[in-house]
Structure 1
């Protein structure tokens, strides 16, 4: 299923504004359930969970920072 540029842009905003805070709360909850590890182990766990979070959504964020590929090029406007 291929998403359009606009759809990927919208989904990326939803994922960042809703999904990321929920994932952060879940990660903190899971880490707090275990006995407090050393700061380095805790940092490695959070970094690992951060990479784990982005892997399923990699295709959504790819190319979002670029110009819209479906937009008219060279200032060509339709409807002028």
Structure 2
């Protein structure tokens, strides 16, 4: 459901920030590819920003807390 809700919100103009692990979203590895980028990933995450954070790290957790404090929807 995360994908559908964030996709719709981003399409309607919300600023959506997707938090990815250092390994990256596995959808980045799904084909087909165009110019080295996953077309599938690009379509399902259109209009979203991505940020890589190692969530077990205390600084990463602080960043997430800062972002959540600024969010209208969590």
Confirm or deny a common fold (TM above 0.5). Answer: no
| Higher RCO structure, 1 or 2 (CA under 8 Å, sep 6+) | 1
TM-score tier by shorter-chain length is under 0.3
Instruction: Tell which structure's C-alpha radius of gyration is larger.
Output: 1
Greater fraction strand? 2
Greater fraction helix? 1
**What TM-score, normalized by structure 2, do the two folds share?**
0.27
**What TM-score, normalized by structure 1, do the two folds share?**
0.26
